[in-house]
Chains A and B, each alone.
Chain A
Amino acid sequence: MFDKVVEIVRDQLGVDADVVITKETSLMKDLEADSLDAVEIIMAFEDEFDVEIPDEDAENFNNIGDIVAYMESKK
């Protein structure tokens, strides 16, 4: 799950392979995603994992680890 999430984030944000992404990495602070990037990433997760992610849930995503945990809870 972690690898898949990171792959989507890299793809959406165009993050180079040499930039290390860990569970503690923040989309906004570390990867400089803006609000539109965040929406596009959430929509990419929805498509990939076939789930609906309400805005209220997405607001609680502070870092990659939060996203991985959320996706695993939806499996």
Chain B
Amino acid sequence: MNFNGKTVIVTGGSRGIGRAIALDFAKAGANVVVNYNRSADKAEEVVKEVEALGTKGLAVQCDVSKQDDVDKLLKEAVDTFGTVDFLINNAGVTKDTLILRMKEDDWDRVLDTNLKGTFMTTKVIGKYMLKKRQGRIVNITSVVGIMGNAGQSNYAASKAGVIGFTKSVAKEFASRGITVNAVAPGFIASDMTDVLSDEVKEAYAKAIPLGKMGEPEDVANAVKFLCSDMSKYITGQVVQVDGGMLM
């Protein structure tokens, strides 16, 4: 795949799956805007890695749930690279606990970043893409948004919300040639899953037909496909990257 001269914005691009997406797009020749909220050092590291691959990178601090921040993100991206072709809504947080123990703040913070953040960036950057009559949006959701998970009612609700949002916006933007799809990772080795015990990880792996956890690159490959010309007739879909965990 060749993304020479294209620009991608990856929200939450400093770590885990977001970092893998940022680097994979850089390998394909794209300039990469690495959005982060608090991990400034890690975002700058990713920018350095991007530039070592021969393209340009830019780290931009922004809380995706705040419109003013997102306006700034788009402006910095366009001022620096002259265009935005792909938006990858990857920024996500977890605050896991059983619902009886879940505080209102645990709910709000997860919904704000994961769902409201996706709304905000899609509204602001989608408007820019509509004017250009060109663009691809890929939202990172989760199989948990489809199957549920004890201890993650806030996270699962946010990810299910992202799926409904993806399909609705796909319908709204289709007439302008802008595709909107979602990628639903299953059990992927990342910061988010590193906190789990080995026992839990093994139990999960047993439930996966392909027999192991996925890598962030597996998710990045699906995202790249959904931004390429190979997927120009695909919109409003949820692609599961889960080793067959949920069928």
Contact = CB atoms under 8 A, between A and B. Distances in A.
Interface string B123-134: 000010011000
Contacts, number: 8
Contacts of B175: 34, 36
A36 B131 CA distance: 11
Contacts of A34: 175
Interface string B86-101: 0000000000000000
In terms of DSSP, what is the predominant structure of the interface of chain B? helix
B176 interface: yes
A40 B126 CA distance: 12
Interface string A10-40: 0000000000000000000000001010001
Nearest to A40: B130
A43 B131 CA distance: 12
B41 interface: no
Nearest to B174: A36
A34 B172 CA distance: 11
Interface string B170-210: 00100110000000000000000000000000000000000
A11 to B, nearest CB: 11
Interface in B115-160: 127, 130-131
A-B pairs, top 5 by smallest CB distance, nearest first, are A34-B175, A36-B175, A36-B172, A40-B130, A36-B176
8 contacts: A34-B175, A36-B130, A36-B172, A36-B175, A36-B176, A40-B130, A40-B131, A43-B127
Interface of A: 34, 36, 40, 43
